Structure 1
C-alpha cells in the first residue's frame, strides 16, 4: 500500500524543504517533508480558509488534521488570549508542526499526535478548523463532523474548507444534519468555506 498523508508513520524517504507564505498579511516559514499533505507549500484551500476565518481573541481552537501546521499556526495569531490545539495522525506532520510553531514564534499552540479526536476526546473547544482529508474517504470526513460537533461548546463553530468537485454537496448535507446554522462564508476557485454553528 502506498503512503498517504493520513498514514500514521509515512515510510517514504525524507525530502525536507523550507517554504515561505504570507497569510493574512503576515509572513511565515514552514518546514515541509515528503509524506505530509501539501509538501510543496500551503495549499490553496487552506489559504482560503485562513483568509476567511473570524475568531474571538480568547477562543479555544482545535485544528483537525493539522499537517505541518499552517492553519493552526495562522489561527494562533488571531487568538492572542486564547489557545490552539493541533492534531494529526501523521507522526511526521506532528513533528513538523511542532517545529513550525517554534520557527514562527507561536507560543499559544500545542501539537498532539492523535488518531482523529482520540487524544482530545475529553476536552471542549469554541472553534474547530478543518481542511478534512478527502482522500481518507467520506466516512472519515463525516466522522470528523460528527465527533467534532460533540467537542464544541454551545455556540461553538466548525469551519470547513472543501472543494466542490471533492464532495462539498455531501459535506454540506452532513453538516446540516448536525448543526443548526450553516453559512457558506466564501467560495473561491471551486473551494467552499462553511461555518457551522452549534446553537
Structure 2
C-alpha cells in the first residue's frame, strides 16, 4: 500500500495502473475520458459529480464567461463545460500532477486551460466555479481551499458545489453562510446536496 490519495501532488508511478476509459452522458453529449489510478474516481464518473452535472444549470452555449473546474481530476466537469459552452474560457485546476496530465489530454481539443493552483494568474476572476470538492482532505484544508477560490468569483459570479450529506454537506452549507456567502440548496439527489453560492 502507498500513502497516495487523489489529492497527492505527485502520485507514485506504482499507483497509476492501466489507463481506463470512463464513459458518461451530460448536457446532451456523450463523453469517453481517460483515467488512471491515483486520481479521483478513476473507475467511473463519481456519483456526486453526476448529480452536479444533472442538477445545476449548465452554462448556455453562447456563454463567453470564464469558468473554473476546481479540483478537476481527470477533467469530466471541465470537458462538459467546454463542450456545452465552447466560447467560454474554461480553467481546470488540480494539485495532482497525474490528474492534470489526464485532464489536459481529455480536453486538448476543447481549449481548456489545465493548471496547478499556483499557476492561475492572480488577476483572473471567474463567472462560474464548479466543484465536487475534496471533502476527505478534512475541514481545515477544505475551508482553506474554498476560502482561496470563492473570493475569485466575479461580482455577479456563481459557484456550484456538490457535497454528500453523509460527508458533511449540511455543515459545509452552514460554514459558507457563516463566512458571508449567499447559499441556496439548489437540489438534493441520492444523498448529495447541490449548493448555489453567490456574494451577498
Per the normalisation by structure 1, the TM-score is 0.91
Q: Root-mean-square deviation (CA), in Å? A: 1.5
**Cα distance per residue 1:37-87 (max 9 Å; x no partner):** 001011110011112232251221111100000011101123222111000
Deviating above 6 A after TM superposition, structure 1's stretches of 4 or more consecutive aligned residues are: none
TM superposition shift of 1:35: 0.4
Whether contact under 8 Å (1:179, 1:197) holds in the other structure is no
Return closer, same or farther for 1:178/1:127 CA change in 2, 3 Å cut-off.
farther
Return closer, same or farther for 1:63/1:17 CA change in 2, 3 Å cut-off.
same
Q: Which stretch of structure 1 is more off in the superposition, 133-142 or 66-75? A: 133-142
- Alignment correspondent of 1:16: 19
- Alignment correspondent of 1:181: 182
- Count of equivalent residues: 193
1:141 alignment partner, SS class: helix
Q: What is the alpha-carbon distance in structure 1 between the residues aligned to residue 138 and residue 195 of structure 2?
A: 19
Per the normalisation by structure 2, the TM-score is 0.90
Determine if the alignment matches structure 1 residue 146 to structure 2 residue 152. Answer: no
Whether contact under 8 Å (2:38, 2:98) holds in the other structure is yes
- Alignment correspondent of 1:155: 156
**Cα distance per residue 1:138-183 (max 9 Å; x no partner):** 1121122212222111111111100001011221011112344221
Q: What is the alpha-carbon distance in structure 2 between the residues aligned to residue 160 and residue 126 of structure 1?
A: 14
